[in-house]
Amino acid sequence: MSKLILSIDGGGIRGAATTQFLSHVETLLKKQHKKFIR
């Protein structure tokens, strides 16, 4: 399975934190709403 990395702030350490946040949002969408963003 390929991974899609989306950074909304330009990268760096803040980009890593943003990536973790977006990954968490994706997981919640899958589990709670059965929605897929890929």
Q: What are the tens digits of pLDDT across the range 1-38? A: 676 666 577 777 877 888 888 889 989 999 999 988 77
Give pLDDT, residue 1: 60
Q: Give the three-class secondary structure for 21.
A: helix
Type of residue at 17: A
Model-wide pTM > 0.85: no
Q: Give the tokens for residue 15.
A: 């980009």
CA–CA gap between residue 9 and residue 18 (Å, rounded): 8
pLDDT at residue 30, as a whole number = 93
